[in-house]
Amino acid sequence: MIGHEDLAVRTLGPCRIDSPLAERLAARETTQHSVVEDDRILFDDTLSMAGVRGLPVDQLPSLEPGGPRKRIYFDPAKTRVGIVTCGGLCPGLNDVIRGLVLELCRHYGVRRIVGFRNGYRGFIPHYGEDVVDLSPEVVQHIDDEGGTILGTSRGMQDPEDIVDALERLAINILFVIGGDGTIRGAMEVVRVIGERGLKIAVVGVPKTIDNDIPYIDQSFGFQTAMSEATKSIHAASVEARSAPGGVGLVKLMGRHSGFIACYSTLAKDDADYVLIPEVPFALKGEHGFLEHLRRRVEDRGHAVVVVAEGAGQEHIEEHEPGRDASGNVRLGDIGRLLRRLVTEHLDDAKVENNVRYFDPSYAIRSVPANPYDSAYCLRLAHAAVHAAMAGRTEVIVARRRRRFVHIPMALAVSRRNHVDPLGDLWMSVLEATGQPVRFA
């Protein structure tokens, strides 16, 4: 069970400097009943969860709220900031970079901000990546484009070399924007910073279209990616309905978690089957997926199938396992396997069929953020700047139950967020598709 020690946030030292935002905060205090920085956020959100702890309310585990502080740790005039984006692309990366730069410059008066190029390798001299000076002018319209103006890469570099670079450039605050591998890397950087007795804050903004970071409502970019995915589901549905025995098969990203597959299916409400990594399925046999699909095609004349890339990996025989630079297991191609098996199964059963396969792949994550994600990214960037200027370190900023909070990095990488096969999201998917609870 998560306790106080899991939620404790590290700080570099006491906040002795008046924040440039203090006046605005003071004005807020007169109109609000509580001061943001003192009002901790309860970790548990149901009576039964809180009840089993048997503690008085003021001793229940709670998270530090995000937001501006009246007093800060770093003197803005002397503060140097670094920003790095790591891992796969995600809509909103440029929005976060822009939000960080504008908040630092315009509201805190920080003047020196650099971007490290191409992920963690941007810190390592032998890659020859020069840092990029970031100013409000440089970042002005970058949110109109997908991707990241800093570039990105997978994989960690030697944390000693990274901290050497931070020291060389006299960086006081490093913002890392990335997924769980990136956050683990950032924790290594924090360890070396500590060993060298340096006062450098490392604050993360968690990123993944897969939405698999735990303890947060949603990761930025997820909503945009799943919206893009609906286009392929719609196209698959049109194709399936327009041909005899039409089967539209869509493979979507989602390595360990089927959130994109589930939400995009619900958004279009056109799919008959959703297959996700969290819910194993049998392919063959009377109650297996293939037979069910055959009956569906015979009954209705068409079917739409959405499969998350990490689903049904146990069915893939010819596949060379291995890991990518982030340490992720390389997946077998479930989409192509299903395309072949579905066609063969319908052919064998003498059911006329036209199987159309869609793999939007990277197209769902290389687009600019939608307005919702853009707003979310900007608010995450603000929260990240407030946390760092107040000397918080080894934390990510995130929204949990609609509140911005500081979550220790160790907690953020302690597990993965999954679609709960007994939870309400999966129940909605079963309701929308009409597929059986289990293909056994």
Residues that bind ligand F6P (CB under 6 A): 88, 154, 179, 208-210, 253-255, 309, 324, 365
Burial state string for 50-83 with b = 16 or more CB within 10 A and e = fewer than 16: beeeeeeeeeebbbbbbbbbbebbbebeebbbbb
**Cβ closest to ligand F6P, residue 210 vs residue 278:** 210
Residue nearer to ligand F6P on the CB measure, 244 or 327: 327
Angle at 41 between CA 7 and CA 378, to 5 degrees: 95
Q: Which amino acid is at 432?
A: A
Residue 392: its H or E element: strand 392-393
- Whose Cβ is closer to ligand F6P: residue 256's or residue 292's? 256
Smallest gap from Cβ 343 to ligand F6P, in A, equals 25
Size of the chain, expressed as the number of residues it contains: 440
Q: Which is nearer to ligand F6P, 208 or 374 (CB)?
A: 208
Angle at 37 between CA 75 and CA 211, to 5 degrees: 95
Measured distance CA(322)–CA(318) in Å, rounded:
13
User: Hey, which residues are catalytic here?
Assistant: 210
**CB closer to ligand F6P, 61 vs 368:** 368
**Helical segments of 169-276, H only:** 180-195, 222-241, 259-268
The nearest distance, CB 40 to ligand F6P, in angstroms, is 32
Q: How far is the CB of 154 from ligand F6P (least distance, A)?
A: 6
Closest-approach residue to ligand F6P (CB): 253
Tokens of 360: 């939007």
In whole angstroms, give the CA distance from residue 68 to residue 404: 11
User: Considering beta carbons, is residue 19 or 328 the nearer one to ligand F6P?
Assistant: 328
Closest listed residue to residue 112, CA positions, set 198, 170, 155? 170
Instruction: Please give the C-alpha separations between residue 364 and each of 60, 196, 282, 373, in angstroms, as whole numbers.
Output: 40, 42, 28, 14
Nearest to 386 by CA among 17, 9, 8, 21: 21
In the complex, least distance from residue 253 CB atom to ligand F6P, rounded to whole angstroms: 3
CB of 255 to ligand F6P, least distance (A): 4
How far is Cα 253 from Cα 307, in angstroms, rounded to an integer? 9
Tokens of 299: 């009954």
Closest distance between ligand F6P and the C-beta of residue 257, in Å?
9
